[in-house]
Amino acid sequence: MEILIKGPGETVICFIDNRGRTLMQERLRCAGSRTVGARRPVSLVGQVGGEWVPLSPVLVSQGLRQDVTFDGEAPTFFTEKRCLEIGCSPSLAKDAGRGRAPLLRADPGNPPNRKVQRR
**Residue 40 in contact with residue 29, Cβ under 8 Å?**
no
Residues contacting 71, CB < 8 A, separation 6+: 1, 2, 78
Model pTM? 0.86
- How far from 66 is each of 7, 15, 20, 32, 93, CA to CA, in Å? 5, 20, 25, 11, 23
pLDDT exceeds 80 at position 16 = yes
Structure confidence by residue, pLDDT tens digits, 95-113: 999 999 999 986 666 565 5
